[in-house]
Amino acid sequence: MKLKAVNEKALTNCSASQQMLAKTTREGVETAFHRALKKKPCPYGVGGTCCRICYMGPCRVSDNAPGAATGVCGATAETISARNFGRMIAAGAAAHSDHAREVALTFLAAARGEAPGFEIRDEEKLRAVAAELGIEAAGKNKNRLAEEVGLKLLAEFGQQEGELHFIRRAPAKRQEVWQRLGVVPRGIDREIVEMMHRTSVGVDQEYVHLMLHGMRTSLADGWGGSMIATELQDILFGTPVPIRAKVNLGVLKADQVNIIVHGHEPLLPELMVAAAKDEELLLAARGVGANGINIAGICCTANEILMRKGVPVAGSVLQQELAIATGAVDAMVVDVQCVMQGLGTVARCYHTELFTTSSRAQIPGAIHLEFNHENGFEVAREIIRRAIANFPKRRAVEIPTEEVDLVAGFSHETINYMLGGRFRASYRPLNDNIINGRIRGVAAVVGCSNPRVRFGDLHTTIVRELIANNVLVLVTGCAAINCAKEGLLIPEAAELAGSGLREVCEAVGMPPVLHCGSCVDNSRLLVAGTAIVKEGGLGEDLSEVPVCGCAPEWMSEKAICIGQYFVTSGVTVGFGVAFPSTGSEKFSDYLFGGIKEHVGATWFFEPDPMAMARQIITILDEKRKALGIDVARERVLYDMEMRRKLEVV
C-alpha cells in the first residue's frame, strides 16, 4: 500500500516513534497514526449527542440545530449525552472489574494449589487485607487465609445488597456524602447491569438522576473492582517497591529472541518472565543463533511486570504497531484491553507471530493459545518455543537506539515506608511539606495516549510545568510510560522541579514524578489520598486536600470511569482531546459545575496542555487558601528528640 508522507514530528514527541513512523510510511504499513489522519471524528459523537440505543433512530441531536433538538422518542440532548456518558462509565467499570474477576479466580486457584507457577508472595499484605475484611487469621496458614480472602472478595461481584468492603477505606466525611446521595455500591455487577438498563430506550430520562447512578457505578470500579485487582495482584505477585528499568523501543535486542507482552492482565506474563529463564529454552534460543530471550512490555501489562520484575517497557499503547515495525519482534502476546485489531495486519507485513490468549478476545489472523490458571506454564513455554523458532525468519531489522532509565513501583505501602521508615511509616512528612508550602499539592496525570493529539507531548508538557511549580505528580498507565521516556521518572529529574519540591525529592531520594502502576492501580491513588486525609492537617475529606487529577490524552471508556470515580470521591478531574458531553450545554454545565453541589468536585475540559497545567495549579491554590495554608509558615527542622515525640498510629 502506498501511503502519503506524514510529518512524524507533528504526530509525536518520541523520536523512536518518529523513526518507526517514517519506516512504516516508507514501507506502506498503515498504523493508527495513518488511520487517524484519514478519519475525521463524527461531530455529534464527539459531543455525546448521537443516540443509537434503539432503531427508531439512530438520532443525532443538537441544542442549537433547528429541528434537531430531540430524538424521535423526544429524548433531549442532555438525556442522550448523559445516557452515553453513563454507558461509558459502565463499560469502563466492566473492563476493570472483569480483569479483577479473572485475578480473583486465579488467586483462589493458587490458594488451593490448582494453579502451577502461582503462589501467595506477600503474606504481610494478605493478613492486613484479611483483618480489614473481618477474617480471623489466627491458626491459618497463608493458603487457607488466602482462600477465605479470595472467596469474600469474589462474592462482591455478584452480591445484590449490602456494601462493598473497601468503601469503608474512604474518609468518614466522604462516606457520609455517598450515603446521603444514595450512591454506595451494593455489588459490582449489579451496578453495571443497572446502568445499562437505566440507559436503554424508555427508562431513565433525567440527566442528574442518570448521573447519580453513574457515580455509584464508578465507585463500584474505583473502590471495588480496580481496588480488588490491585490488592490481590499485590498479594499474589508481591507489592511493588521502587525498581530501576529501561523504557522505549531501544529495549528490543537485535541478537535476542524478542517477545512483547501487551494488554492488561499480568497473569500469563508473570509466568512467561519465569519461563524465559528456563535453561532448556535458553539453550534452544542459542541453537538458532540468539544470545538470549528478551521479554518486554507494552501498555499496562508492561507496567505490571515492570514494577514487580523490572521487565523493560517497549512503549505505551500507540507504540504497539511500531514495535512490530522494527522487524525484531518474534512474538507478540496479547490478552485484553487496548489491543488494536490493526496488529494482525501489521504483523503479517513482518515476521512477527501474534498470539491471543484470553477466552474473551480473538483477532482475525492471530494464533489463539488460550490461557487459564491450570495450563499457564504450558502456554508460556509454547509461545516462547514458537518465538524461538521464528527468530531465524527475521528480515531487515531496524531498532531505534532510544532506551531511557526509569524508577517505578511506588505503591501506597512504598510511599508510606519512604516517608517514615518501617517502624514510623507515615504520610506526616508529605502533609507537613504541603502545609509549609514546599509542595504546592499533588496531581495525578493518568490515562491513555491518543493519535488525535501529539502523542506523549500533552503528558510531558503538563508534568514538566507542574513539577516546576512544586506540584508532586503521580502517574499511572500510558501516561507513566510517556513520562518515563522523557526521563521524568528518575531522581535526577528533581533538577526540573521548583525549589521546594526539589528539596523534598533530594532529601528522600525520590523522583518528582512517581510511577504508581497500571490503570487498575489508580485505586492506589485513592488509598494514598485517604492516607493524607487521615494523617491530618489538610481537611477531613478528599475534596478539601490540594489534589487534582487529569487525563490529557485519554481515549478509552475506562478513562471516563476512572475520572468519574475520582470526581465522585471529591477530586476534580480534567480531560483533554475532546469531552463527550459538549454537545449538550445543560449536561456539560452539570459536569463542569453543578455536580460540585453533590460531591464537592467537578470535571473540566482543557485541550491545551499548558492551560490545563495552569488550571490544575489554580485549583490547588484555591484549596490551599480554603485550608488557610496559602501563606508562608515558619520552617521547622526536626531533631531526633522531636521525631521521637511524633505520634505513631
The full set of domain ranges for the chain reads 69-237, 244-393, 406-629
In whole angstroms, give the CA distance from residue 392 to residue 390. 6
Is 14 within any annotated ligand binding site?
no
- φ, ψ of residue 247 to 5 degrees: the values are -140, 150
Cis, peptide link before residue 41, omega less than 30° from 0: no
Picking from 237, 229, 232, 286, the residue whose alpha carbon sits closest to that of residue 257 is: 286
The verdict on whether residue 516 carries a ligand-binding annotation is no
42 is in an annotated binding site: yes
Q: Which residues of the chain have pLDDT under 50?
A: 649
Smallest CA-to-CA distance from 367 within 344, 339, 350 is with 344
Q: Are 615 and 604 a contacting pair, CB within 8 Å?
A: yes
Are 12 and 454 contacting, i.e. CB atoms less than 8 angstroms apart? Answer: yes
Collapse the DSSP code of 243 into the 3-class scheme (helix H, G, I; strand E, B; otherwise coil) and give the result.
strand
Structure-block grid coordinates of residue 107: 488467586
Using CA atoms, how far apart are residues 248 and 15, in angstroms rounded to an integer?
10
Q: Which CATH number fits domain 69-237: 3.40.50.2020, 3.40.50.1820, 1.20.1270.30, 1.10.275.10?
A: 1.20.1270.30
Rounded Cα gap, residues 246 and 364, in angstroms: 32
Instruction: Annotate 3-46 with DSSP letters as a single string.
Output: -----HHHHBS-HHHHHHHHHHHHHT---HHHHHHH-PPPHHHH
C-alpha dihedral sign at 198, 201, 203, 206: positive
What are the cell numbers at 420? 517514615
Residue 505 annotated in ligand binding = no
pLDDT at 614: 98
Q: Is 319 helix (H, G, I), strand (E, B) or coil?
A: helix
CA distance 13 to 156: 43
Name the CATH architecture for the domain at 244-393.
3-Layer(aba) Sandwich (3.40)
Of 350, 411, 377, which Cα lies nearest the Cα of 268? 377
| Nearest-angstrom CA–CA distance, 122 and 230 | 13
All cell numbers assigned to 536: 491530618
Sorted by sequence, the CB contacts under 8 Å of residue 628 that are 6+ apart come out as none
Residue type present at position 127: R
- Is residue 349 part of an annotated ligand binding site? no
Across the strands, what pairs with 243? 408
Q: How far is CA 290 from CA 269, 355, 391, in A?
A: 21, 21, 8
**Edge-to-edge order in the sheet of strand 603-605:** 513-515, 471-475, 441-445, 547-551, 573-575, 603-605
Same CATH topology for 69-237 and 244-393? Answer: no
Would you say 550 is a known binding-site residue? no
Residue (of 85, 93, 91, 94) closest to 218 by Cα position = 93
Architecture of domain 406-629: 3-Layer(aba) Sandwich (3.40)
Burial class (CB in 10 A: 0-12, 13-18, 19+), 161: exposed
